[in-house]
Homo-oligomer: A and B are copies of this chain.
Amino acid sequence: MASTRIQIDQRSTSEQIANGLRDMILRGDLSPGEPIRESSLASDLGVSRNTVREAVRILERTGLISYEMNRGASVRNPSRAEVEDLFKARLAIEIGATQIGSMAEVQAPLRQAFDKLDDALSRGAIDEALQADLDFHTTIVAMGKCSRLDSAYRRILNEFQLHLAILSKTEGEYAKPDQIRAEHLDVLDAFESGDVNDAVAALAVHTDLSQRACLAALDRSAKAPSTAPDRLDG
């Protein structure tokens, strides 16, 4: 049956638009706070307004946009408090997965994920490293072998990537490569030790450090707005 692997694009127009919008937001093509105008988007894409509305409703799931009655959708403009909330949620889910999953089974894939990250970092491939970083954490969550936990985490990561997209516009990079490598190695070591409590502790430390780095970058970028003028607090 492997020969009949025909892939048909069974996604509706609205779903494709939702995906496209998500990519645009994560790439930073749409800046935070920017409104998503139904009519203009519809005519730009050559689709009807209803279809765009549906796409927006689909996109709402991702947490990348916010919706206000009679005011429509706009790209989320996340505050400092929300970044903290995101990190908390990430940590909690990672810990939860660690506790319900099997330490023995995660070690090999986690080592693999680290190697990819290490490789990308040493080659200076920022985007690739960033993706590898996210994959590393996704691997940890995957050890829970729970699809609902996976998707809850994915949703949060999505939102997190929105912040990264904003930061990378002003910062250029998310942190120092050496530091990233060292932090992830600590986590890997803890998991390879096989002790759940060590792993949990390592995750907490790593999350705390990267949260600090992220918040510091956020503060810097708030002080020195580069490309887009900030209209954070009206």
User: With A and B bound together, what is the CA distance between A58 and B144 in angstroms?
Assistant: 28
The reply to whether A148 and B53 form a contact with Cβ atoms under 8 Å apart is no
Our pick among B50, B57, B86, B88 for the contact of A100 (Cβ within 8 Å) is: B88
User: With A and B bound together, what is the CA distance between A155 and B60 in angstroms?
Assistant: 14
The reply to whether A89 and B149 form a contact with Cβ atoms under 8 Å apart is yes
Chain A residues touching B, majority SS: helix
A61 at the B interface (CB under 8 A): yes
User: With A and B bound together, what is the CA distance between A94 and B159 in angstroms?
Assistant: 22
A 65-99 to B, binary, CB cutoff 8 A, 1 in contact else 0: 00001000000000000000110110111111101
The reply to whether A148 and B86 form a contact with Cβ atoms under 8 Å apart is yes
User: With A and B bound together, what is the CA distance between A197 and B196 in angstroms?
Assistant: 11
Q: In the complex, how many angstroms separate the beta carbon of A137 from the nearest chain B beta carbon?
A: 14
Chain A 149-165 residues near chain B, CB threshold 8 A? 149, 152, 155-156, 159
Interfacial chain B residues near A197, Cβ < 8 Å: 197
Chain A 109-147 residues near chain B, CB threshold 8 A? 144-147
Q: In the complex, how many angstroms separate the beta carbon of A87 from the nearest chain B beta carbon?
A: 9
Q: Which residues of A contact B (CB under 8 A)?
A: 10-12, 50, 53-54, 57-58, 60-61, 69, 85-86, 88-89, 91-97, 99-100, 144-149, 152, 155-156, 159, 197, 200, 204
Q: Pull 5 A–B residue pairs with CB atoms less than 8 Å apart, ordered by A.
A: A12-B69, A85-B148, A92-B99, A95-B100, A152-B156
